Amino acid sequence: MTADHLFGTNLVAMVTPMNPDGSISTQGVNSLVDHLITTGADGLVVAGTTGESPTLTDAETTALIRAVATQARGRAKVIAGIGTYDTATTIRRAVEAEAAGADALLLVTPYYSKPTQAGVIAHCRAVADATTLPVMLYDVPHRTGLALAPATITDLATHPHIHAIKDAKGDLAEAMTLMSTLAYYCGIDDLNLPYLAAGATGLVSVTANLTATPNADLIHAIRTGDLDTARAIHRSQIPVTAALTAASQGAANSKAALAELRIIPHRSVRLPLLEGQPG
């Protein structure tokens, strides 16, 4: 089965709607899931960094995955963020995500502890062994402090459950040399066009909380060889991307915009984030 079928192509790094008291908004979750699918998303990444995963308890994360899977009802793939800096905890979260109805897992590089590349390989293989779900690696060194080396990616690509990588490293030259080993998904909205043009399978987008439709159109334009349309779409989204990802506050700014459009009821976030502005 191809990565398109395992994960989708137009993925959203979904925010976690919350009430003013900090609890998760069931109404907001259901409304947002419907909005994202209706506007063209075929993959929902739940409890990732944009979903404020560091502030969610294990019970909240499991309940959120289950709620999204129930609301999506097979209309889009549900990819659960389960990575931590502790292998045992990550394995437990992977097993819980599978039981909650996730279709796939997003596995971020262990952060803060900065293991060796051999340690990263052992960590990722242990997590991938723990369930039957397909795994998407997540390479985001500006947040984790640790990049996946090309040799590490090549090694992990041989695991039968590891099929894809969300690349937020931004090294397009490196990515192009590795796209034959794993399905690449662009994790930096500013680079969606060049990654897709270079052969990436799809996008994992923060701005797609608001822009799933133009992202779907961009993917279609690239796949049909219509580069003029692809460039026009990308240019039209530059101001939106700048507004939503300013100061790396994609979660807060996206929530503010979604609340302004009444797609979710509140713009609430949990500290240390502060509420954003719609831009």
161 and 125 in contact (C-beta within 8 Å)? no
Burial class (CB in 10 A: 0-12, 13-18, 19+), 178: middle
Distances (CA, A) of 210 to 23, 67, 103, 162: 22, 21, 23, 29
Instruction: Describe the chain by its helix, strand, coil percentages, rounded to 5.
Output: 50, 15, 35
Distances (CA, A) of 195 to 7, 60, 137, 279: 17, 34, 17, 26
3-class SS of residue 273: coil
Q: Is 184 a catalytic residue?
A: no
Q: How many whole angstroms separate alpha carbon 225 and alpha carbon 32? A: 31
- Choosing from 138, 184, 185, 195, which is the catalytic residue? 138
Say what the alpha-carbon torsion angle 247, 24, 27, 4 is, to the nearest 10 degrees.
60
Strand partners, 205: 12
Say what the alpha-carbon torsion angle 32, 34, 35, 37 is, to the nearest 10 degrees.
120
Q: How many whole angstroms separate alpha carbon 118 and alpha carbon 140? A: 18
Q: Is 138 a catalytic residue?
A: yes
HSE toward the beta carbon, residue 15, CA cutoff 13 A: 37
- Choosing from 166, 184, 195, 255, which is the catalytic residue? 166
| 231 sits in which H/E element | helix 227-245
12 and 36 in contact (C-beta within 8 Å)? yes
Task: Point out the residues that are catalytic.
Answer: 138, 166
